[in-house]
Amino acid sequence: MKNIIKTAALLILGSGFFYSTNAQKIQVVNGKSIVNPYYSRTNTQILKIPNSTWKKVLGGDLYSVSRLGETEEAFTGKYNQFDGKGNYFCGACGNALFRSDAKFGSTCGWPSFFEPIRPKSVIYKKDESYNMVRTEVKCGRCDAHLGHVFDDGPKPTRKRFCMNSIALEFEPLKKSQN
């Protein structure tokens, strides 16, 4: 799968007074800008959206990884060698997933974290594909595939959340939060 850099832009819809919690997102799908109405950084309501609908609002690589469970090529993801300070959100729905201070320099080829931002940010599912038994990590809000978790991470959790950059979206901390 090609590693296409997503060119989505954020757009706050509404007046900013009445709809400030309904931040939606423009995602580029087949060269067209499409509003993702399920995207929110503040709404934690669980989403049950069929893939046929997601396909209309998510771009190619994001759809392939988050909805079809594909894996980006090792060492190609934009967050693999990246140490910006901030938070990582689900690229499909905007759910907060990881803090940069839980990210560590793994050599596995994908961005790795030792814990999620909140226990319920992610959910776990047994994955027996490719003749392996692994634990799949999915978004706790929209059920997007994010990656897998392994027991060979650093202290304090010894976990390695091995994530696809394509499924994540990084938001740097504002200067006042540093």
Known catalytic residues are 162
The piece of 70-78, 79-87, 94-102, 157-165 that touches Zn ion (CB under 5 A) is 94-102
The only residue of 26, 65, 90, 166 in contact with Zn ion, by rule CB under 5 A: 90
**What minimum distance in Å lies between the beta carbon of 141 and Zn ion?**
5
The piece of 70-78, 92-100, 118-126, 166-174 that touches Zn ion (CB under 5 A) is 92-100
Contact 40, 12 (CB under 8 A): no
**What minimum distance in Å lies between the beta carbon of 167 and Zn ion?**
8
Is the CB of 55 or the CB of 158 nearer to Zn ion?
A: 55
The only residue of 57, 65, 92, 96 in contact with Zn ion, by rule CB under 5 A: 92
**What minimum distance in Å lies between the beta carbon of 37 and Zn ion?**
14
Structure tokens at 53: 């609908």
Contact 70, 1 (CB under 8 A): yes
Restricting to residues 122-161, which ones interact with Zn ion according to CB under 5 A? 139, 141-142, 144
- Please give the angle made by the CA atoms of 5, 48 and 30, to the nearest 5 degrees: 30
Is the CB of 102 or the CB of 144 nearer to Zn ion?
A: 144
User: β-strands 112-113, 160-163: how paired?
Assistant: antiparallel
Structure tokens at 37: 């109405």
Residue 168 sits in the site that holds Zn ion (CB under 5 A): no
Residues 6+ apart with CB under 8 A from 46: 140, 141
Is the CB of 71 or the CB of 154 nearer to Zn ion?
A: 71
Closest CA to 166 of 85, 80, 87: 80
How far is residue 69 from each of residues 10, 48, 63, 141, 158, measured CA to CA in Å? Answer: 25, 17, 9, 16, 24
The only residue of 87, 95, 106, 165 in contact with Zn ion, by rule CB under 5 A: 95
Closest CA to 121 of 87, 77, 154, 150: 87
Is the CB of 142 or the CB of 163 nearer to Zn ion?
A: 142
Site for Zn ion, rule CB under 5 A: 90, 92-93, 95, 139, 141-142, 144
